[in-house]
Structure 1
């Protein structure tokens, strides 16, 4: 693992903190915090690999650490009563099959009033109910967010600006967030780049006692101009006169959106969390989907057993209309249909146990039963003929400091 430059990057905030510690009355107040997960994950098959979204390789029947493990560190420098600077670095297995570091947050926060804050830079994108602490395992009841839901938008941050307004009425608190910007991510290792332009998002969170309700909606235009396989299929369709089919698959300035609803309940010993999401796209190469999950947990002292069920299905056609299914162009049709059926169709049932053995650390055990349909589901690098169901087991220690 080539971690030396990455650890140096993550250690930079510590150096900053030490520099200011020499004279605490001079300069900003710096706060350092961190989080991490040390996990072992394995499945019961060698015919496909279980992975989180964006990972190039996953795990088969031999246990590995890379799927569910990460380490992050965050530094916040409070410059004065109205300005602060925040940076967060994250080490995980993402894009390639080696641990790598990324600058996940880097923003300036301006406090315009007691209710309104404005941030500029790289921030978390409010896609899901737990977007702000998606990578902080200790903050979540389950060992990992359900992959059926959390694989629908492969984007965690945005470079741009957002505004957060919080107000209270009665016993309720409403937090409203709007975000604008752009972002990009790599697909299939470094095989191609997905560029998201003109991202706009809204996030509304209503809290009342043990209840939390959320509504989120993001829209964007996206481009994939350097995918050799997609360009070959689209070019072939154009060459043989299937212009409409080519246009339906191309990814250039296509609009896409993701709308989600969430509900959380933390009442006495009961924990309930549920999300529902709908993805829409102008390109058949990013199929329309509907996904959801529901989790139920119950605290018994320091132990929390839990169960969750998750599902994802494709709403758009899984074949491209008007193409020949036999003859010399059948292979081209098969290639086009491959892109049209890229969405996962899958359900899962998971049971787990969380043990809070420390005030800042927990141990989690989770057993998942995944049932992919009409393809490999969320599994990657599948062998021909692969089908489920598949059992995945993981053990993890989460910590914060």
Structure 2
């Protein structure tokens, strides 16, 4: 049981788990790794659930399908480069996305990155598409779906690693994004975001059995909405996003909570998981306020077939409040804003 506990802590608290366990070393300086997810899922509501997944009451075999490849090259002790290409759930197989590609420079306790980088808003941001790296089938959508699936930015970041004690570390990462574009489809509407700039500050305090992150991001953006009836350009606007998250491990227990606040959302979730050898049952409760009024309860079980393959079975009940359609991506025609979601998910790394 002690070995199982250590593996559980390492999997849930270390963002490097995927790279350590799965990478294939082609040479001393070049490595290749990959990851993927696939599912069978169905809701009991005809109105689609979740931006970029659109799960309905028809059984879906590809709503969560994800496949990614990552290559890393270390030129010397200071310079390295990394590239990650992902076929996300919303992408066709012929049009995967370049999720990140950057050049990094490290010296002492400082690391500089330049290129396309992951937007570091959440606990699971760094490995958002690597389903094997977190407990549930999907990160809690009330929080992680709040920014419509925008997960990266083009720009520069600098990270300082500060040792506080023998087992406590603080990382501080200011970052700056330049102009970029992103597209999101919601039902029969297409949203084209033009992001003029992004400025943010990410910090993380971590130890053997805990992580605490705080992030602030400011963006100036404009959006064009296209429907079958035509298109409309909205004027530029600003958004300030604040996120706070914490993970804490106690024996076989793992406690997790995150909150996101911006001009349109006040969303949060809390989760508890208990590891029993290869089995990890978990429960998550979440709420959305302001833009989407919603609460949900999720009960799931993860089974680790191997250190590289896991299986999730989940039931989720979501209930929109106050007349909002909540996590349903458009207003139901029949007025039914409750939904039960059933999921069997397979995650793997290679």
Asked if these proteins are the same fold (TM beyond 0.5), I'd say yes
Q: Measure, in 1, the Cα distance between the counterparts of 2:52 and 2:218.
A: 20
After TM superposition, the structure 1 = structure 2 runs for residues 115-154 of structure 1, keeping only pairs within 5 Å, are 115-154=109-148
3-state SS in 2 of match to 1:358? coil
Tell me, yes or no, if the aligned pair for 1:39 and 1:396 is still in contact at 8 Å: yes
3-state SS in 2 of match to 1:224? strand
- CA 230–134 in structure 1, closer or farther in 2 if over 3 Å, else same: farther
Residue of structure 2 aligned with 1:366, choices 314, 324, 339: 314
After TM superposition, the structure 1 = structure 2 runs for residues 78-89 of structure 1, keeping only pairs within 5 Å, are 78-89=74-85
The runs of 5 or more residues in structure 1 that have no matched partner are 1-16, 234-249, 281-287, 315-342
3-state SS in 1 of match to 2:142? helix
- CA 149–119 in structure 1, closer or farther in 2 if over 3 Å, else same: same
- CA 310–230 in structure 1, closer or farther in 2 if over 3 Å, else same: farther
Q: Measure, in 1, the Cα distance between the counterparts of 2:297 and 2:244.
A: 21
- CA 144–102 in structure 1, closer or farther in 2 if over 3 Å, else same: same
Q: Measure, in 1, the Cα distance between the counterparts of 2:44 and 2:297.
A: 15
Note the C-alpha offset of 1:232: 7.7
Note the C-alpha offset of 1:273: 0.6
- CA 229–104 in structure 1, closer or farther in 2 if over 3 Å, else same: same
Note the C-alpha offset of 1:44: 1.3
Tell me, yes or no, if the aligned pair for 1:223 and 1:253 is still in contact at 8 Å: yes
After TM superposition, the structure 1 = structure 2 runs for residues 1-400 of structure 1, keeping only pairs within 5 Å, are 29-46=29-46, 48-51=47-50, 53-55=51-53, 58-94=54-90, 100-111=95-106, 113-154=107-148, 155-170=150-165, 171-182=167-178, 183-188=180-185, 191-225=190-224, 227=226, 251-280=234-263, 288-314=264-290, 343-373=291-321, 374-400=323-349
3-state SS in 2 of match to 1:252? strand
> TM-score w.r.t. structure 2 length?
0.86
Deviations 1:73-130 (A, max 9, x none): 1000111111111100001232x6777400001100111x221010000010111121
Tell me, yes or no, if the aligned pair for 1:104 and 1:122 is still in contact at 8 Å: yes
3-state SS in 1 of match to 2:235? coil
3-state SS in 2 of match to 1:166? strand
Deviations 1:226-262 (A, max 9, x none): 64699988xxxxxxxxxxxxxxxx8423110110111
Q: Which has the higher helix share?
A: 1
3-state SS in 1 of match to 2:42? strand
* Higher RCO (CA 8 Å, separation ≥ 6 residues): 2
Larger Rg: 1
Note the C-alpha offset of 1:153: 1.4
Tell me, yes or no, if the aligned pair for 1:93 and 1:100 is still in contact at 8 Å: no
Deviations 1:18-73 (A, max 9, x none): 9x96xx5xxx8210011111111101122x0123x344xx2222211222220101
Tell me, yes or no, if the aligned pair for 1:259 and 1:277 is still in contact at 8 Å: yes
Q: Measure, in 1, the Cα distance between the counterparts of 2:226 and 2:249.
A: 45
* Aligned twin of 1:339: none
> TM-score w.r.t. structure 1 length?
0.75
Number of equivalenced pairs: 322
Q: Which has the higher strand share?
A: 2
* Aligned twin of 2:18: none
- CA 346–99 in structure 1, closer or farther in 2 if over 3 Å, else same: farther
Tell me, yes or no, if the aligned pair for 2:45 and 2:336 is still in contact at 8 Å: no
Structure 1 vs Structure 2 CA RMSD: 2.4
Deviations 1:311-347 (A, max 9, x none): 0010xxxxxxxxxxxxxxxxxxxxxxxxxxxx32111
Note the C-alpha offset of 1:386: 2.6
Tell me, yes or no, if the aligned pair for 1:375 and 1:387 is still in contact at 8 Å: no
- CA 194–54 in structure 1, closer or farther in 2 if over 3 Å, else same: farther
Tell me, yes or no, if the aligned pair for 1:92 and 1:99 is still in contact at 8 Å: no
- CA 382–100 in structure 1, closer or farther in 2 if over 3 Å, else same: farther
Q: Measure, in 2, the Cα distance between the counterparts of 1:277 and 1:59.
A: 24
3-state SS in 1 of match to 2:147? coil
